[in-house]
Structure 1
Amino acid sequence: MAQDRPAADTPAEAAAAPPARRNGSSHRGLRTFESLRYNRDYRFLFAGNISANGAQWLQLFTVGWLVLSISQGSALHSVAVAGVRSVPVLALGPWAGVLADRIDRRKIAIGTNIAQVVLATGFAVLIAGGWVEVWHAYTYMLLSGCAHSIQQPVRHALVANTVPRSDLANALALNAMSVNITRLSGPLVGGLLISTVGFKWNFFFEAALYTGMVLLLLPMRTPYREASTARRVSAFTNLREGLVYILGNSALFRLTLLNFLRTTVFMPLVLLMPVYTSQALGAGVGTGTFMIALMGSGGLATTLIVATWGFFTKKGLVTLLALLAGSMVIAVLGLSHWVWLSLPLMVLMGLCQTHSVVSNNILIQSIVSDNLRGRVSSVWHYESGLIPLAAVGIGYVADRVDINTALVTVGAAAAILSLLALVRFKEVRELD
């Protein structure tokens, strides 16, 4: 049976409480699921995140195929409808962080997931009734993106509110693991449902998964949440405070910049995979899907390694080295015209990306004050709104020249910037 730490009466006591005795935990090989074993509330959050992340990947996979089928095979609509989901982050993202620092984060997460349940159910009914059109899909993804842009930084901040500081690195690694697990399983389940029972059941199942998140959040508490002072001033003041805090903290600002660089270079690769697979490798859908799965497997392996044994060196240095290595992998992918070479490169890409994400995230969550955690997390997640824009930019270069040249150019430029950061950002290199 799982063992919990003794409950604290107040957030301050919870934060100060010593960890419970962990028999055998001195053996680092037994630490993989440590934060799940000793933290009841994190168990609820982790299970809920698995459910919500599964809904997210199921949605992203299914909606593209649905639109492809109802738009006479329009590739543009198929890609654009998934990208629309990220647009609200650009407008709502920072304000979601303000909300997360002013209101009970658990209640916000419950409310946004209920909204996702309603949206997914309504869209499934449209499909079941035979009324769905392309504009319905765009509207659905835009509204779903609004809920997602609010709930994502909130769910992120909740991790630090459900575990003590000593378990934060392990909990964040497991959180990243949940993303990689559902990234692999979501398309698998989605494809099976489409081929057997039709599109509508994908969205009904998505609604059920979001319902699961709501039910798991109800008994969850946040014993490590500090008392909020954000409501003493206006929301506009809160927003300014968050930005000033990030800009005024050199390490935090540089980590945020590195995360933005990672997103604009690494993340568009998945969206560009159909073009790369067909044009650079001369292969089909099966190869492209397998390459994405290999990237996910590399990420999953990374989270297991980090959760079990930690990092091989200082986290700040890991962030910088992973960014440099991943940029070089993208450049080499651009040089490759061979499936046998590109397949292992995708595993390396998953390793580099997840090392960069997890190390960067752990450092930021360790540095930031809990009163500002929501605002800082929202800026950290703001990068997700840039992914479609970056993909369009790289796609433009690919159209003008070719996908290989585009990837080599982007990878080489990112490698140069990463190398400069490795040399110049001494403060980040020393972070652990």
Structure 2
Amino acid sequence: MFRSLRNYNYRLFASGGIVSNVGTWMQRTAQDWLVLQLTGGSGSALGVTVALQFLPVLLFGLWGGMLADRYPKRRVLIVAQTLMGALALTMGVLTVTGSAQVWHVYAMAFILGVISCVEVPTRQSFVVEMVGREDLPNAIALNSSTFNLARVFGPAVAGVLIYWMGTGPIFLLNAASFAAVIAGLALMRTSELCTPEPVPRAKGQLREGLRYVGRRPDLLLPILIVGSMAIFTQSFSTSIALMATGVFGAGASSFGVASSAFAVGALGGALLAAKRVRPSRRFLIIGAICFGVFQAVAGLAPGYPAFLAFLIPAGMAVVTVNTTANATVQMGASPEMRGRVMGIYVLVFTGGAPIGSPLVGWLAEAAGPRVSVVVAGVLSLVGVGAAVLVTRIVAARMRPEETPDGVPGEIAGGTSGGEPEATPNLRETLRTRRERVGALARWKLRRAA
């Protein structure tokens, strides 16, 4: 389960990430609570804040992935983490001095989103440089484990600290937490990093990345499923806040406990994923369906304890989908395209928030928080079905000559990034066009299913 930690660089990366992620989740809780205080409990304002934080991904996300391919990832991460720390420090000073206004929170959320456009795809694609392909699925799952471990403690601690000291000190603590991850990146042994050659600047690199994914049904399916879920997954923190305050009348500490309950399930799902050697597409689809179901059921919870109970399996389902999709995409992408592919992945993963968060906030004010959560769960299920259907259509329309280099060896005579090698004599047996077309069709059906 913890085999990736045998790598020195990854140990630094993971340990620094735990500290920084705790601070990040504390800040997210404080940010939501600050908005509710400044606006008198407005769900729409809370939704706008989340939307502004993820809106830059829709605008600049693909460029962020392209920059991840062009420049050394470790240096990019150090710069990005430093800027994020400075941003948290600024917001903390404004809040402590009593100068914070809603537009300050909006501005901070938007600028943080701009930085994340580059930082997130760079950080995601940097993992393989530390651990190699063999331990990549395990490292991705452990990253999710540390992220959700912080998600367990961060909101709960933030809820208590908000009650004692207010929201301002939370931002200052998060600013200090960035020192851990920056130090870890600076202390890495660069000689042990498997760093690919930077991709030289050229025209059409964004279109090249989009075409690459569009011709790879094995990459397209997890990206579409994550994208369909992300519209309502990223806004789920908004739903938790509205349910805790608007339905159950909970305070700051109870709101933090609800966020932690969701994270407990996410942590369990991440640890289970760490034990899996290879990602499974069936596991991906089942996890996406389970999230939609438990999200809808949570909206119908009769009381606060039942609400907490339903949040746990919902969190487990979310992480199952995210870790499986992330590992599938990274293992399937070629090294020179990994940054751009992860840019597309991050775009659909976080870009749904500007759509889902305002919708959930508006629906909560118009029909109540329960209705917004139930509708979000149902629409999540519809999105998963649509993703599977679109992938089937794309696979069926592919011609044999359009088969990319990354498909399995039994089709193209080679091996894909994440597939087992083909039988040695299989290429010689598929000599005629009819046999090749039949093999391609069978592969499409397996991948789409």
Moved more, 343-352 or 399-408: 399-408
Structure 1 residues without counterparts, runs of 5 or longer: 1-31
1:248 aligns with 2:215: yes
The 3-state SS of whatever aligns with 2:351 is helix
Q: What TM-score do the two structures reach when normalised by structure 2? A: 0.79
Alpha carbons 1:363, 1:431 under 8 Å: kept: no
- Separation (CA, whole Å) in 2 of partners of 1:68 and 1:402: 16
Q: What's 1:174 paired with?
A: 142
The answer for the alignment partner of 1:412 in structure 2 is: 378
| C-alpha spacing 1:276/1:102, structure 2 compared with 1 (3 Å) | same
Q: Pairwise mapping of residues 150-165 of structure 1 onto structure 2 (< 5 A)?
A: 150-165=118-133
Q: Contact (CA 8 Å) 1:45, 1:159: kept in 2 or not?
A: no
* Matched-pair contact (CA < 8 Å) for 1:172–1:362: yes
Offset at residue 86 of structure 1 (A): 1.6
Q: Which moved more, 1:363-372 or 1:129-138?
A: 129-138
Match of 1:26 in 2: none
- Measured at CA, do residues 151 and 428 of structure 1 come closer, stay the same or move farther in structure 2, by a change above 3 Å? farther
TM-score by structure 1 length?
Answer: 0.82
Moved more, 415-424 or 110-119: 415-424
Aligned match of 1:227 in 197, 206, 212? 197
Aligned pair 1:33/2:5, yes or no? no
Distance 1:134 1:376 in 2: 35
Matched, 1:294 2:261: yes
Q: Tell me which amino acid in the other structure corresponds to 2:184.
A: L
Tell me, yes or no, if the aligned pair for 1:397 and 1:406 is still in contact at 8 Å: yes
Q: 2:297 matched to which residue of 1? A: 332
Aligned AA (2:352):
L
Could you tell me how far apart the structure 1 residues matched to 2:80 and 2:268 are?
Answer: 31
User: What amino acid sits opposite 2:231 in the alignment?
Assistant: T
Unaligned 5+ runs, structure 2: 393-442
Structure 2 vs 1, CA of residues 78 and 387 (structure 1 numbering), >3 Å: closer, same or farther?
closer
Q: Deviation digits for residues 80-129 of structure 1, max 9, x if unmatched?
A: 33442222212121111111000011111011111122222233333344
Q: Does 1:209 align with 2:174?
A: no
Partner of 1:140: 108
Are the counterparts in 1 of residues 65 and 343 from structure 2 also a CA contact under 8 Å?
Answer: yes
Q: 1:80 to 1:411 in 2, by over 3 A?
A: closer
Partner of 1:17: none
1:98 aligns with 2:63: no
Q: How many residue pairs are counted as aligned between the two chains? A: 394
- C-alpha offsets along residues 146-183 of structure 1, whole Å, 9 cap, x if unaligned? 21222111111111110021111110000001110111
Instruction: Give, in angstroms, the shift of residue 43 of structure 1.
Output: 1.2
One-letter amino acid of the counterpart of residue 84, structure 1: L
Structure 1 residues 429 and 169 mapped into 2: Cα distance closer, same or farther (>3 Å)? Answer: farther
Q: What is the CA-CA distance between 1:130 and the residue it aligns to?
A: 4.0
Compute the RMSD of aligned alpha carbons: 2.8
The aligned counterpart of 1:4 is none
> Which residue in the other structure is 1:323 paired with?
288
Give the whole-Å Cα distance in 2 for the aligned partners of 1:374 and 1:91: 17
